[in-house]
Structure 1
Amino acid sequence: MTKFTEISANSSAETVLDRRKFLAGIGAGGALLALPGCESLGGFSMVDAVRRLLYLSSERAFTRLTAPGGFWDQQVAQIGLSNMLGTRGGIVSSILTSTIFKDRLEDAFADIAVEGAERAAPIVTDAVRLIGIQNAIALINGGPTAATGFLRESMGTTLVEAMVPELGQAMRIASEPLVGELLAGLTGINISGVAQNISTTVDNAIWSEMGVEESAIRANPRATNDPLLIGVLGAGRLL
């Protein structure tokens, strides 16, 4: 085993452990969403039901997005590369001389994108816990992604704005030598611009996945084993 292979193996193991700690952390946040409400729902209100729906949707979405070898690695592996590389002629050709080389570069950017998702997760959790919901019943009775759409509209560009500086820094100090070689070779590259593009793509992926998970929960609330969601969503639309 070469020294580089040993380093890569150790780095991969550390990444898996870090992601497990991250997912455990957002899972622990579920207890914070159990807020007292009206007695007709056993001590919970419709607002609590919407928050629980949003929290579970986000938890599942982030679990899928950050899982090694999962949706993220398969679908967003090339995140930011097209915006960064453009048509830089000989420089790009010399860097991307083989499939293996390109795959390593894509993996490096996938890891940076995962950092963005991990940074966004607690922001979403806090927003779910604190956000004011004017008409919770309408959201419960809404379409398959009504609650996710409401939260995204309420948060605006919060996630993108939070991720841009961090991802720009992650690119500058990336441990993958190929990232450094790429940044050094492409004279005049706008790292902030690339970080903005990556952050926007991460943002879109987060909300898309949350919508998928919300739809799945609405379609089969019993699968959540959550009494509140089963009681509210399982009985059909509320009047």
Structure 2
Amino acid sequence: MSAIPAPARRAFLGLVAAAPVALAACTTPLGAALSPEEGVQRLLTAASQAAFARLIQPGGFYDDQLTRLALPAPGEGRGGAVLAAVLRTEAVQRRLAIAVNDIAVDAADRAAPIVFDSIRRMSFADALSILRGGPTAATDLLRRETGGALVDAMFPEVTAGLRGDAFEILTAALAAQSGFDLSALANTVSRQASDSIFRAIGREEAAIRADPRRTRDPLLIALLTGGAL
């Protein structure tokens, strides 16, 4: 599988690692109680940090059933008949599936800053109800607030990836089909990657709610265990 170049990965991991620290530094003073609004922000930041730390690793999407992207079904969209012919063997299917998921890994670094920026900018009409809500209540709100921004951010990276060496057989076959729309395929992959990112964040949120101590954030722990609610 492909890997993110070391300098880019170090920079990206630095961004992910710094997110909760930066949030904590600019909010609650030492000894002060954590407000529900800040609690939701810290919950989402911790969940997003953990999710991206997994996703940006080689195989971060493909090796996880929850986040694995599927190849578009043969016959889906223009050029579907050609796609069906290219995907006629299991070996080719697996190779292209891995390549699609590697593209998602490379595109995830475009999505992370948008997620963290959205968390910082979000306002919460009823933060207490979010904290008392279901296991992914905060992630569901984040997804609604973010809208299609992740798809738009990842689309250029995905488009470039689909033109790469791993897809030379597929793109060569489809290039002969004047009706094939590569951008439609890139959009489908980008949407799948966005869905996977939010599923990963939601899973981490649910895990934090089940065991707040995993965050090592005493204020968030107190809030989620009822001490500050």
Q: Distance in 1 between matches of 2:193 and 2:138?
A: 19
Asked if 1 retains the 8 angstrom alpha-carbon contact of 2:16 and 2:52, the reply is no
Instruction: Give the structure with higher Rg (CA).
Output: 1
Asked if 2 retains the 8 angstrom alpha-carbon contact of 1:80 and 1:197, the reply is yes
| Corresponding residue pairs, total | 223
- 1:171 alignment partner, one of 155, 162, 165: 162
1:179 deviation in Å?
4.4
- Tell me which of the two structures has the higher relative contact order, counting C-alpha pairs closer than 8 angstroms and 6 or more residues apart: 2
Matched, 1:215 2:206: yes
Q: Distance in 1 between matches of 2:18 and 2:173?
A: 39
Corresponding residue for residue 28 of structure 1: 18
Corresponding residue for residue 38 of structure 2: 48
- 2:116 alignment partner, one of 119, 125, 128: 125
The letter for the 1-side match of 2:81 is: R
Q: Distance in 1 between matches of 2:210 and 2:47?
A: 13
Q: 1:175 to 1:62 in 2, by over 3 A?
A: same
Point out where structure 2 has 5 or more consecutive residues left out of the alignment: none
- 1:141 alignment partner, one of 128, 132, 137: 132
1:166 deviation in Å?
3.5
- 2:123 is paired with a residue whose SS is coil
Corresponding residue for residue 62 of structure 2: 72
- 2:179 is paired with a residue whose SS is coil
1:16 deviation in Å?
6.5
**Over 6 Å off, 4+ runs:** none
Matched, 1:88 2:77: no
1:182 deviation in Å?
4.1
The letter for the 2-side match of 1:15 is: I
Moved more, 50-59 or 200-209: 200-209
Point out where structure 1 has 5 or more consecutive residues left out of the alignment: 1-10
1:193 deviation in Å?
1.0
Moved more, 58-67 or 200-209: 58-67
1:230 deviation in Å?
0.9
1:155 deviation in Å?
1.7
Q: Cα deviations across residues 84-106 of structure 1 (Å, max 9, x unaligned)?
A: 787415x743x346443333222
Q: Distance in 1 between matches of 2:158 and 2:56?
A: 15
Asked if 2 retains the 8 angstrom alpha-carbon contact of 1:37 and 1:43, the reply is yes
Q: Cα deviations across residues 175-202 of structure 1 (Å, max 9, x unaligned)?
A: 3233443443444211111111111111
More helix by share: 1
Asked if 2 retains the 8 angstrom alpha-carbon contact of 1:113 and 1:202, the reply is yes
Paired-residue identity, %: 38
Matched, 1:157 2:138: no
Moved more, 177-186 or 201-210: 177-186
Q: Distance in 1 between matches of 2:41 and 2:173?
A: 43
Q: Distance in 1 between matches of 2:224 and 2:106?
A: 33
